[in-house]
Structures are given as C-alpha cells and as structure tokens.
Amino acid sequence: MAKLDVSCLFDAFLQAMSDPDGGSRFYELHAPSAAIRAGEGIRRAADVQPETFAAAHRDITLRGQEALPAFQREGLLETSDDNSVAWFQVSEAHGKLSFPVAVGFVDGAVDWCVASPQVKNWSFQDGLLQSFGNYPWMRNGTPATPRSILDASFFRYFWRAPVTFQTLPDARFSCMMSTVCCRHDYEITLPPEAQMLIDAVPWARVQPSLTGTQLPIRPDGKLQLKSLNEHCRFLGSQRQCLIHQTLGRQPFGPCSVFPFSFAHTPEGVSVAMSPICGAARRGIGVAPLHREEDLRERFVQSEARRAEAFRLAPDVEIPWQTFRDVEKALCDLLTEQAIPLRRRLYLCTRLLASLRDGDPLDTNQWVSESLVPISDELREALRGMLARVVAWDRAALRALPSVIPPTLADFEANEPPVLVRILQNTVFSKVYSYPFDLTTTLNFVIVLYLVSLLMQVAAPDGVLTDVMWQELGSLGVHGLLKFLLHEGVPDGFRATFGTAEFGQWLLVV
C-alpha cells in the first residue's frame, strides 16, 4: 500500500469514527479480524452484525459528544517496511494534545489502532497485543463510552478522573514478587475478551507449553483465570507473570488492582490494602499516594465499592462526615500502642455505644474499667459460633483447635502491629461498613482478632505463619467472614450482632 493510501485510509477511519451516522462506514474500514465494540466489550468484527454496530456507534457517539475525543491526523511519522504498521502524529481538539497513534493494516483495512505516549518499535503482532491491553478501558465507560480501542487508549493515557485518594497513614506497598496473589486460594474471573489478548501473546517464544491456551468459560460467560486452590497458569518459573512480562504491564483487572481495594466516598476514593500481600501487611515499600499514576491505572480497573447511606449501627443512619470521623477514631484507637490490643478493641466498642446513646466520650474511664461479665450460657453460645467459624473448610483453618480454649479471654496477640494493620484495613476497606454499619464492622473485626488468637495456639512458637496471616486477610479485607458468619451466627444473635454490646461479649469469651 502506498504511503498516501495509508494516510487516506486513516483519515477516513477517524472521520467515520467521529460521525454518529458513520457507523457502517467505520465498520467497513475494519478488517474482519479487528476487535471492535460489541456490547460492553469487544469482539472480532466478523462476529458482530454491521447494523448492530452502527446503531450502537450512533448511540455512543451522540451520548458522549461532550467527552469523546476529537482526533485529527497531523502527519505520517513512519511506516514499517511491509506497510503493515504505520505511526501517525494525531492531535485532539478538546485537550489540545498531540501524540502518536499506531495502526496495523490487513488487506487494506484497519486491524488495530491505538494511541501511545511515544513511537515504539512495534511489529504488527506487538501492536495487536498492545491494543488488546486497553480492553478494560472499553468497559470502564469513563469519561464516556469509548467508540473504539483508540478512544480507550486515549482515555487511558491522557484522561485523569478528578478524584482524590485517601489511604491509611502508614499504608505502604511495593511488589516483592511473592506471587501470593497468583497462588492464593481465591478465584479470579475475567471478561470474555481477555481471551483475545491471551491469543495475541506470542506463546511460542514466551512459553511454548501455553500455546493455544483457552481459559474455561463459566456458566455466567466469564472466563475462569484461576479457581480456588489453583495456581495461575501464567505464573512463570522465575515468579514472574508471563502476561505482565510480555505486555510490559498487567492488563487483567483483578491482577492489576491487587493488593488495593477501592471505595467511593463523598470526598474521593478510599484505598485499602489486602493483607494477603506480605509487603502490604508489613508496611514495606512506597506510600501509594506517592505513586498516584499507578494508583489511578489500578483504580480504573477496579470495581470500587459505593454506598448511598452511612450507618453507625444497623438502624442508625449518620452523615458521611460523622461516619468518616468515627471510622478514623476506630482506626486511631487500634494503633494505641501503650494499650493491650484487647483493651483497644474494648475502647472501640465503648466509643460506638457512647455515640449511639449520646453518652460522654471518656477514654480515661474506659481504659481502666472492668470488661463486662457474661453468663456461662452466653459464653457457650458465642464459643459455638467461633467453633463454627474455624470449622469452615479452608486449608489454613483446618489446623486450628476445634475446641475453643477455656482461657481464650486471657490470650493476647503476639504480633500486634501486623494484626492491627489487618484490622485497620478491614475497617477502612468498607467491605462490612458499607453494606452493614460501623458497629457490625467492629464486631467482624473482633471475630478476626479472636480467630488470630486461635491461630496462635496452632502456630509454631505462637507466631502466625504467612499462610495464617493470608487467611486472616481473606476473612477480613476480602470479606469471607461475611459468608461464614451468615451461616455461623446463631439465630438468636442476629439481632444483636450489630450492637456494641455483642463486641464486648466477644472480648470476654
């Protein structure tokens, strides 16, 4: 193809893309193998009805008029020897930006088209793979639904959501390649188009045994990257992710987001850390806010939690500012190093009860007063609940004592700093406080504390193993305890689980 043809074809491509009525033409300019919008994601053009594509294109283009980019070709930068790849300089009118765009051609049609901050030495196959790496932005829909992977890549590189992130003060993380995220016993699912990216990886060079890998399709249409108790097949022998290594970054949402979790608040986005990751658990590495670009890329791929109402207790709605301040007070109380952790948790219950009842806040009195006594009958019932939690069929729980030690109320945590980080992140992640309330959340946290004490009984020298810490992280920040307690809370307790008194009872079990 002559250079002029390449430029003319690209001009026609940009023009059809910007025209609400240009959907049919835009479709025709793609090769049958090209990935184009289909519903929420992408599919091969040959598998998409032209009429359906054109109708969706019109709708997306009209709806996104204000936010969709307006591209114009400024010039041809270079073409590959075989004319299968061309780089153009492109301007965008709204943001007054100018940047390179790479286009891959097949039989005189566009196969892929992607923006890039710099011109790269890409083969046709490299560009194809890199263009698929933008698929999460096709689904994300911010600031507008992308019409194409070109839009998606533009948003990825040049658009930044106007959000402010908040983290716990001592949050730190740097990837130490522990690969625990790729081996831990939780499942990871991906949208169907992730298979297109996997197909585009040059496996013959990267890992021949993975050539032709097809991820299993679940009944809900999602792909199963890994199931429980399964190590990810893309984990290389040098503890590296082969997908990440090949693409230069991580395209799969769950892998990219880990170990962070995000929750929308009226003031921005709260960022909590998963204690499954050893670096996050021990506070090793860089403060996430010092790598905001990295955080933003992860945030786009996350399914951030959101709440319409905020509660102190199940039926006690409170304004966001109060919720925020109480959440911070709970996290601060948990770090009071001069006080035993059990007593810190008690102070938290007293704070919540006093706020509920409108009583004065007097930590000096709370710190020295006696814990509440409970009847033998109540103690037995609560022990039964704990026994059901640790009897759950999870590898890290199987080693724990099936009979709750009679002196559990005298136990104390052997490594409070690590445990506190888990408990704080459980509160801050809002896994429990958004669907329930702050008091219920604290009670989940107290159950976690008790489970950690039971783990100490089974741990060598009373020091929790990495696997045990990871399990605590799963139960807390990843919300597994919610499912456990749903089964395990005796009927008579359901109404009291959201009270500060319930937490106080647990502390003397």
Shortest distance in whole angstroms from residue 505 CB to ligand SF4? 40
Among 235, 378, 399, 458, binds ligand SF4 (CB under 6 A): 235
For helices 466-476 and 438-458, the axis angle rounded to 10 degrees is: 160
Task: Looking at residues 148 to 207 of the shown chain, list those that interact with ligand SF4 (rule: CB under 6 A).
Answer: 181-182, 188
Can you tell me which of 119, 175, 232, 378 binds ligand SF4, judged by CB under 6 A? 232
Segment contacting ligand SF4 by CB under 6 A, of 79-87, 242-250, 280-288, 296-304: 242-250
Q: Does 252 engage in binding with ligand SF4 (CB under 6 A)? A: yes
Told to check if 505 binds ligand SF4 by CB under 6 A, we report no
d(CA 364, CA 494): 32
3-class SS shares of the chain: helix, strand, coil, % to 5:
45, 15, 40
* Cis peptide bond N-terminal to 202, omega within 30: no
User: Of residues 45, 255, 331, 472, which one binds ligand SF4 by CB under 6 A?
Assistant: 255
Task: Give the residue carrying structure tokens 């590495």.
Answer: 285
State yes or no: residue 243 binds ligand SF4 (CB under 6 A): yes
Q: How far is the CB of 217 from ligand SF4 (least distance, A)?
A: 17
CB of 149 to ligand SF4, least distance (A): 21
Q: How far is the CB of 277 from ligand SF4 (least distance, A)?
A: 12
Pick from 213, 61, 82, 52: nearest CA to 147 = 61
- Residue placing its CB nearer to ligand SF4 in the complex, 16 or 188: 188
Backbone angles phi, psi at 164, to 5 degrees: -110, 130
Subset of 414-453 contacting ligand SF4 (CB under 6 A):
none
Alpha-helical segments (H) within 252-362? 253-257, 278-282, 292-300, 320-334, 341-357
CB of 241 to ligand SF4, least distance (A): 3
Q: Is 107 left (phi over 0), alpha (psi -120 to 50) or beta?
A: left
Q: How many residues does the chain have?
A: 509
Q: Which of 234, 260, 497, 505 binds ligand SF4 (CB under 6 A)?
A: 234
The region of 25-33, 227-235, 351-359, 400-408 touching ligand SF4 under the rule CB under 6 A is 227-235
Distances (CA, A) of 354 to 84, 312, 319, 360, 440: 70, 11, 17, 7, 15
118 vs 238 by CB, closer to ligand SF4: 238
Nearer to ligand SF4, 235 or 307 (CB): 235
Helices 466-476 and 480-488 sit at what angle, rounded to 10 degrees? 70
Find out whether the peptide bond into 143 is cis, omega within 30 degrees of 0.
yes
- Enumerate binding residues for ligand SF4 (CB under 6 A): 181-182, 188, 232, 234-235, 241, 243-244, 250, 252, 255
